[in-house]
Every structure is written in structure tokens, then in C-alpha cells.
Amino acid sequence: MNWEGRIMLSRTSFFNAALFRKNLARFWPLWAVNLVIWLFILPFNGLMQLGDDAGRELKATSLYRFARNVGDFAGEWGIIFALFAGLIVAMAVCSHMYNNRSANFMGALPVRREGMFISTYLAGLTMLIAPNVVIFLLTLLVEAVGGVVMWQPLLYWLAALCGMEFFFYSFAVCLGQFTGHILVLPVFYAVFNAI
């Protein structure tokens, strides 16, 4: 094999790890707030059921009731949270299109458009999904410490919340790519979700 064949490999990458990491680092407050909100709603709530000064049987009953009703938090809090979190994260990851200087800078990078879109899209989706997995594991740990592990409601919560966030985020990114304007995106998002 000659030297041209060894060093001139033609590969097309649809993912740029540097851009992915940069988006995660740049918008860390979004996934940190997501994590903190759900920490107070699920694991800390379960810890409060464990920390009651009541008798052992009452603690087990209250923790059992909490573990059985974990899936209800996806319907009560999850839909509202997913609606707003999807929009905010989409506005953040599409922010490079909102002014000429940043759009020109991102366009001048040696990254293909497909790679740029997929990297930013996956970074936003990671900001929404990764905290859910951490909350799932922490809530499972709280349930295990209390001796009441109920997989079905907890898996329902995880699947329902991740599904809603995926839908609302994908819809907002689609509108963000379509509009390319920070003030028009929330208006279209509200109108189309209302329809």
C-alpha cells in the first residue's frame, strides 16, 4: 500500500465531540437547574419520608406510598416542566443563529452542517435526559435504603418524562431551525403547541 492510501482516508463525521462538549459546558446552568428541581421533587421527598420521627411501620407505609406514586410526578410536574425546559434548551442550543457574528463564526468552522446540527441537538438532549437518569438512580437508592423498591412506577416516570422532553425539545429545535430568531421561536412554539 502506498503512503497516499494510508494517510488520506476519506471519512464523513456527523458528530463533532468538541462542539458537543462546548455546548454542555457553555449551558451548564440549564442541566444543573433541571437536576436541582427534580432533586427536590423526587429523592429529597423520599428522604423526608425516611426521616420522619414516626415508628418503623409508619415510615415503611409512607415510603411505600411515595414509591407507588412516583409515576404520578411525570403527569403532574413532568408535562409542564418538559414544555418549558424543551423550549429553553432549544433556544440555548440554537442561539448561534440569532445574530450575524455568531452565525458567521459557526459557519466558518471546519464542521459540516450535519455535524453541527447533530452535535448541538444531542448536547441539548443530553442536558435534558442525563439529569433524569441521575434522579432515577438517586430515587432508586432512596427506595432501596427504605427497603421499598418499586421498579414499575419509577421506570414509568423516567420513560414518560424522557419521552415528553424529547418531543417538546425536538419540536422546539425544529422551530428554532425554521425561524432562526429568538423572539419568534417562543411565539411559534406557543401557537403550535396550543393548536
User: 106-115 pLDDT, tens per residue?
Assistant: 666 666 767 7
At residue 56, does pLDDT exceed 70? no
Taking residues 156-185, report their average pLDDT. 91
What is the C-alpha separation between 104 and 25, in angstroms, rounded?
21
**Looking at residue 14, what is its pLDDT?**
76
pLDDT band at 60 (very low <50, low <70, confident <90, very high): low
| Average pLDDT value for residue range 40-46 | 87
The DSSP call for residue 53 is S
For the stretch 80-106, pLDDT in tens is 999 999 999 999 888 777 776 665 566
130/39 Cα distance (integer angstroms): 13
DSSP 109: S
Contact between 186 and 91 (Cβ < 8 Å):
yes
- Whether the per-residue pLDDT at 37 is higher than 60: the answer is yes
Per-residue confidence band for 42, with pLDDT thresholds at 50, 70 and 90: confident
Who's near 82: CB < 8 A, 6+ residues apart? 161, 164, 165, 167, 168
Give the whole-angstrom CA distance, residue 39 versus residue 163: 19
Mean model confidence pLDDT for the chain: 83
Residue 13 contacts residue 118 (beta carbons within 8 Å) = no
Compute the C-alpha angle 155/172/113, nearest 5°.
105
Confidence of residue 47 (pLDDT cuts 50, 70, 90): confident
pLDDT at 53 over 80: no
Q: What percent of the chain has pLDDT over 70?
A: 82
Say what percent of the chain tops pLDDT 90.
41
Identify the weakest region by mean pLDDT among 52-56, 152-156, 187-191.
Answer: 52-56
